[in-house]
Amino acid sequence: MISRRKFISHTVAGMAGATLAQNAFSINLLMQKKDKLGVALVGLGYYSTDLLAPALQLTQHCFLAGVVTGTPAKAEKWKQQYKIADKNIYNYENFDAIANNPDIDVVYVVLPPSMHAEYSIRAARAGKHVWCEKPMAVSVAECQSMIDACSKNKRKLSIGYRMHHEPNTQRIIQFRKDLTYGKVLNVNAAAGYFDPRTDHWKQKKSLGGGVMGDMGVYPLNAARYSTGLEPIAVTAQASTTRPEIYKEVEETMVFDLEFPGGVTAACEASFGKNMGTLQVNCTKGWYKLSPFQAYSGIDGITSDGIKLNATIPNQQAKQMDDDALSIINNTPAIAPGEEGLKDIRVVEAIYRSVAEKGKVKIG
């Protein structure tokens, strides 16, 4: 026999659950009807502050609706600068309450890589679509957990591979698909810059630092989209010229990829020197972009003199508009979670190669 107190407790709990379910249902209906999506940025570091927030002032299909930050002073600054409503400002403790906010349709995770999985999963569980910066996560297992969470909650997951949205990059991908210059034989790709910082998450192993996950994903991903193939083996060497700064992680990574059919890629990434070149050599010619991964000014040429220098107003705005349209129109994302997972599978193999000092097969 159930007591009156237990009956009331169970009834209230049931009503609360029904209310939450109704709220989620209502939010989903609102999201489906929108032609412009509200985006909340999680983490207000350099990339959010200097690039994503300004880009969201240029987008046509999404807008800056909210922020998540652990720093009250940042919250106040962003509130004033972008006229963000108090109810759309969250911290890391009350983040899950974002589930009840119909103003926010998308959560863009812009945190150190070690935090990507946690906040992507929490966002998906809150009924929000997820955009996550690269590298997607620090392990294949975490990547898969993000994909599973978004799938289970029927939310879309896109990874911040802005080059996939860039017109010159899209053109060389089409060269490969159309065999414009014949079959790809080999690829050379290098990305890096001199980072003067001495105390940053990129230098801390626990936060997902190291050049491979950050700049290294550019040549790795470029090798994959240039060939249209997945690597089957890798040989890698890690090094540093500043061991007093790069105590826990590598400053430079050199890695050679082997693909099916004898196709190869020679790649390098560094926090110690400036570089940014992608060249694809084929049976009937070649094409290259230099720089191939910069925030603007992508420039290139082909072996027969065709210039690859199409411009767009803002790469981040294009990326976010494309991803917003994918949600609005329920079409496949240009760079879904599976794309990020494929890179991290190779990243794990690269670190194994460094540890074992030799070639590692990628299964």
Which positions are annotated as active-site residues?
134, 218
φ, ψ of residue 274 in degrees (nearest 5): -85, 125
Q: What is the DSSP letter of 133?
A: P
Residues with Cβ within 8 Å of 302's Cβ and at least 6 positions away in sequence, in order, are 175, 181, 285, 286, 287, 308
Residue identified by tokens 């590692």 is 360
Tell me the two tokens of residue 338: 């599976």
Q: How far apart are CA 295 and CA 52, in angstroms?
A: 12
Residue-wise burial string across 312-332, b where 16 or more C-beta atoms lie within 10 A, e elsewhere: eebbbbbbbbbbbbbbbeeee
Characterize the bridge pairing of strands 129-132 and 233-239: unpaired
**Sign of the dihedral through C-alpha 258, 261, 262, 268:** negative
Contact between 104 and 39 (Cβ < 8 Å): yes
Residue-wise burial string across 129-167, b where 16 or more C-beta atoms lie within 10 A, e elsewhere: bbbbbbbbbbbbebbbbbbebbeebebbbbbbbbbbbbe
Please state the separation of Cα 164 from the chain's center in Å.
Answer: 11
The residue count of the chain comes to 363
Amino acid letter for position 95: F
Q: Can you list the alpha helix ranges (DSSP code H) found in the chain?
A: 4-33, 46, 53-55, 72-82, 116-125, 140-152, 167-178, 217-227, 315-328, 337-356
Contact between 175 and 181 (Cβ < 8 Å): yes
